[in-house]
Structure 1
């Protein structure tokens, strides 16, 4: 499904709010567009209406007194009211004249003292008239003032109504847009947590962050600004065309030529803008990824003096982003405002040509009110056209951003299972397990071993031998390609990942701490982990002595990654975290490698108690820490080459014996 359709689907989640906004928008547009009609009525009926036929009357109501008699416009007579002799008021240049004679025809007017001459082609007529003074002319306007005031008040009232509904429409549209983006961000973040670990192996964190923040913000702009502009423009343009057709169908038909021109322009613009925006969003994502990586590795960059190279790499990405931003800017500058200006001029040329031709035909002369209304509507017509053209860039950015977000949402994930099973015993078996991160490149080959409940299994071997891969498979961060892993007689691939992990705990070589406190990092905000359990877990791993000097004790603030704590302190918190969840299977991935000798001794003491009833897997480089393990698996290039207890492997005098002797010798030399 195309990004545009999917964005519409998201919008339909809040269709009631959007529908209410569109209703308010329609009312706002209708009341706003009534203005030129009212202005036309004021000009033609009440200001220029003075030239219509007047009749002598005996009533002074809505009448003007002149030469001792009352005169009333034909439109002001009530039904059945008697009419006297007719009269006319005519404008000749800047002067107004009164005559009680009816005109045989109208045409070009000229005034010579009290004689009015009207010429139409070869025909000429003369009339005896009286030139009106200022106060006399005002008397004839006086009856129109109440009607003009009423129309002006109506116009002002409609503007107030329009403003109120326009505010409501914008508020509702922005509210719906914020809710849509809130839902989209939650969907993206929730989906990220459903994605398998291998998805993040080749995708920098900065790129994921860019899709959740920058791309969704671009989409928010679509709902808040772009769609609002398009909806408003569509309704305004429709309303203006309706008004133009009411006023003059022929000229309105000429103005319709604007729509296909606008549509063709949109197609051409999107062809180029889409290409530029894809590169811009991609480079923006790359920049975020690099900044994130540089901040995390700033100590290494500065320690090895790589500032210049890092800056050069950043500038390369930034320059590419700048180049395509300029291309898009050039595209917008050459077309948006220029296009609207050209279209506006074309419409006004057609307008002048049409009204100029009409003025040559006396019978088809158009009123000043009609002229004003047309100019007003044509000016108004280009406001929404300008709005549409100006938002095309944001539209393309949003569609490209939507494409990137939906690509992430389309990645296959796994639903988080809420299923819970009774506590497992912890009998683990690997049966002919082979595994590869990349197809055909196996890092584990035919792994076979069994661990009984309560046993401690140690994995040793050189870097890259496959120790951590075994733990990744056991925790189901990955699934093996061949063979199977069985816990308590059941294939773990038949157990939902979250259900299985509910009975497992892990301590990584590089512990990860979240922003919060020591307590929150141990409990991970799990309501089942009480403060008493947290403190007991910290006590069991010997943390009481290590953290006793902290100002806030266990409530000491922890910033991102726990960078203000030592490696040993971070590891103790990570260790207590695993123990607080009381796992049936405990995995220690080189958990003591960053801990000093004294802290390691504390953990070793606690482990002797905590390992009871638990199946424990230990990956260790310090072979002295695993002498009491029930089984030691020696791995080399993805295969188990030796297996047994410490004493058995030492007696075997094989690879383990060699590794142990090297470490012991190194320790003696160090001593």
Structure 2
């Protein structure tokens, strides 16, 4: 099915507030009418004053009063329409941002794996802001300009229809100039928006990895890379401004001067043969000068409109991506936690399988450990279990139910996960454990932190459990962050607990605390562990040794050590390294 155009989709957002927009446009009509009445009243004052030859001021004062009244009405109407139109535009963009943010929650992780974070931020922040300009500036300018042009030509025909016919040539000329302007300007605006997105992505990446940049003295290289993007945007912006300067005020001003000269010549010639009204001459020149103001206004807003359409294309590209609805999980029952992989094959890229025919079962209360060298497929198994990706072949079941038939929210409701690189949100410590889940009380938060051995250092902080944590928890040590992330998983009381190399960045003392806590919290739960330190999984019920996406060995610690295969060699190597270090 063909997708609707960008213009139609923008109109659909505007139609939600159609009555407010129509009201603003009606007020706008009143303002334009009041403004256009000024020159005609001035013409009447001049003609009356010259025709009577007297200096009676009463009629003039009445007309002046009417003129001032119209200006006051126009001022009030302009304020009202501007407020209505701009507040409506803000509402439209607020809705668009919410739609975009909601849809991002539904998109597959594949998109985020291949898209820099800064580009996504640019879509939500910068591109929607550019669309706002379309509703706030261009719409008002375009409507006002069209109404003004219509009213001006009506007035010109009333004053002198012969000359007004000649002036009808102007709109097609300006329309042609606008088409040429839009054609060439779009090329540079598209590049400018792309470079802005790339710059945002690079800035975001640079801030996140600033310690690495400074440690490896990459400041100069980073600046040079940024300068390339910045200069390319600058060059294209200059080219776009060059087109704008040549095709807007320059052409309009030149044509306007020529037409004004022609009108003066026309009235001068007529005055030699017939008597003409000086009021008509003044009003015609005044209205003619007003023709070029709305044209220039439209030209001035064309860049904003084009930028808005380019940005809207990028926003709607994300909204068109396939996503899955975020479903409610109020009625989802707690599973037993029996996890089964049956002949699972998976590839991030077609033809490059990272998992090959993986089969195993983890029963309730068991701990299954996955070990292997980097790239062997350990994290891919966890990604499949969490529903971040779908297997290409085979099936994954929980309590005998295929996870592909479950909503992602229902699948993950009773899962807890602790990553190797723990992430803490900006907020206090108790929030980072409960994540504002109403079912998790402060007592439950404290118990979880106590179970993992984190209560001792938290209670020594100035504000205790209310201590504020900056983004990513950079004010805490890696071990402290990891303990809090453990407490977060335990507070949610999952049926299935996933530990993705969760003890890799923890010191030996903290590791001892974690090991004691895990023995308690793992009881009655299915626990899957990706292990970096083999000493932490000696008590696992089942150990799967992965090699190039396949299960090379399986069994408990004693069985695998007796086998003398890959696991035994890895364990002996780590044990030997520990001895050397000690």
Q: Is the 8 A contact 1:522 1:574 kept in 2?
A: yes
Matched position secondary structure for 1:612: coil
Which has more helix, going by share of residues? 2
Partner residue of 2:40?
A: 37
Does residue 1:346 correspond to 2:266, yes or no?
no
- 2:20 matches 1:8: no
Q: Is the 2:6–2:312 contact (alpha carbons within 8 Å) kept by the matching residues of 1? A: yes
**SS in structure 1 opposite 2:248?**
helix
- Please, which moves more after superposition, 394-403 or 4-13? 4-13
Residue in structure 1 matching 2:21, options 18, 21, 42: 18
How far apart, in 1, do the equivalents of 2:55 and 2:227 lie? 73
**SS of equivalent residue, structure 1 residue 603:** helix
Q: Which of 457, 474, 477 is the equivalent residue of 1:563?
A: 474
Per the alignment, in what secondary structure is the counterpart of residue 449 of structure 1? strand
Q: Which sits farther off after the overlay, 533-542 or 474-483?
A: 533-542
**1:465 — aligned with what?**
376
Listed as ranges, the matches of 1:20-99 within 5 Å are 20-45=23-48, 47-51=49-53
| Unaligned runs of at least 5 residues, structure 2 | none
- Alpha-carbon distance in 2 for matches of 1:528, 1:351: 80
Corresponding residue number in structure 2 for 1:141: 55
Q: Which of 463, 474, 498 matches 2:385? A: 474
Q: Alpha-carbon deviation of 1:518?
A: 0.8
Structure 2 counterpart of 1:277? 189
How many Å separate the matches in 2 of 1:355 and 1:519? 83
Matched, 1:650 2:564: no
1:342 CA displacement: 1.6
1:401 is aligned to 311
Correspondent of 1:453 among 346, 364, 389: 364
Which of 430, 436, 446 is the equivalent residue of 2:347? 436
Matches within 5 A, 1:331-370: 331-362=243-274, 365-370=275-280
Cα distance in 1 for residues equivalent to 2:423 and 2:319: 26
* Deviating 4+ runs (over 3 angstroms): none
- Over aligned residues, Cα RMSD in angstroms? 1.2
Q: Tell me the CA shift for residue 242 of structure 1.
A: 1.5
SS of the equivalent of 1:201 reads helix
Alignment of 1:510 onto 2:424: no
The CA distance in 2 between the partners of 1:248 and 1:190, in whole Å, is: 58
Report the structure number with the largest CA radius of gyration. Answer: 1
Structure 1 SS opposite 2:390: coil
Between 649-658 and 562-571, the greater mean CA deviation after superposition: 649-658
Deviation at residue 50 of structure 1 after TM alignment: 1.3
Output the CA distance in 1 between the equivalents of 2:363 and 2:276.
101
Matched, 1:239 2:151: yes
Cα distance in 1 for partners of 2:69, 2:440 equals: 63
Question: How far apart, in 2, do the equivalents of 1:150 and 1:487 lie?
Answer: 87
**Structure-2-length-normalised TM-score:** 0.98
d(CA) in 2 for partners of 1:14, 1:234? 22
Displacement of 1:350 in angstroms is: 3.1
Tell me, in whole angstroms, the C-alpha distance in 1 between the residues paired with 2:369 and 2:130.
51
SS at match of 1:5: helix
CA distance in 2, matches of 1:376, 1:405: 44
Secondary structure (helix, strand or coil) at the match of 1:243 reads helix
Q: What is aligned with 2:298?
A: 388
Q: Provide the rounded CA distance (Å) in 2 between the counterparts of 1:533 and 1:350.
A: 86
**C-alpha distance in 2, partners of 1:462/1:372?**
88
Q: 469-478 or 309-318: which moved more? A: 309-318
Q: Aligned residue pairs: how many?
A: 578
CA shift for structure 1 position 660: 1.0
SS of structure 1 residue aligned to 2:114: coil
Secondary structure at the residue paired with 2:55?
helix
> 1:472, CA displacement in angstroms?
0.3
Q: Which has the higher contact order (CA 8 A, sep 6+)?
A: 2
1:661 aligns with 572
CA shift for structure 1 position 2: 2.4
Query: Secondary structure of the residue that 1:360 maps to in structure 2?
Result: helix
Distance 2:134 2:196 in 1: 18
Once the two structures are superposed, what CA deviation does each residue of 1:449-468 show, in whole Å capped at 9, x if it has no partner?
A: 00111111111111111100
3-state secondary structure, aligned to 1:583: coil
Match for 1:488 among 396, 399, 418? Answer: 399
Q: Pick one of 126, 129, 139 that aligns with 1:214.
A: 126
* Deviation by residue 1:189-244 (Cα, 9 ceiling, x = unmatched): 11111111111111100111111111111111111111111111111111111111
Q: Name the structure with the higher strand share.
A: 1
Q: Deviations over 1:532-559 (max 9, x none)?
A: 2211111111111122221011111111
Partners of 2:422 and 2:482 within 8 A in 1: yes
Q: What secondary structure, in the 3-state scheme, does the structure 2 residue paired with 1:634 have?
A: strand
C-alpha contact (below 8 Å) 2:192/2:236 kept by paired residues: yes
Note the residue ranges of structure 1 that are not aligned, 5 or more in a row: 52-139
> In the alignment, which residue of structure 1 is the partner of 2:93?
181
1:550 corresponds to which of 454, 461, 468 = 461
Match of 2:211 in 1: 299
Q: CA deviation at 1:44?
A: 0.8
The Cα of 1:499 is off from its aligned counterpart by: 1.0
Retained in 2: the 8 A contact 1:254–1:350?
no
Q: Does 1:530 align with 2:441?
A: yes
Q: Is 2:255 aligned against 1:253?
A: no
How far apart are the structure 2 equivalents of 1:179 and 1:553?
Answer: 41
Aligned residue among 576, 581, 605 for 2:487: 576
Contact 2:178 2:247 in 1 (8 A): no
Counterpart-to-counterpart distance in 1, 2:12 and 2:256: 36
- Where 1:582 maps in the other structure, the secondary structure is coil
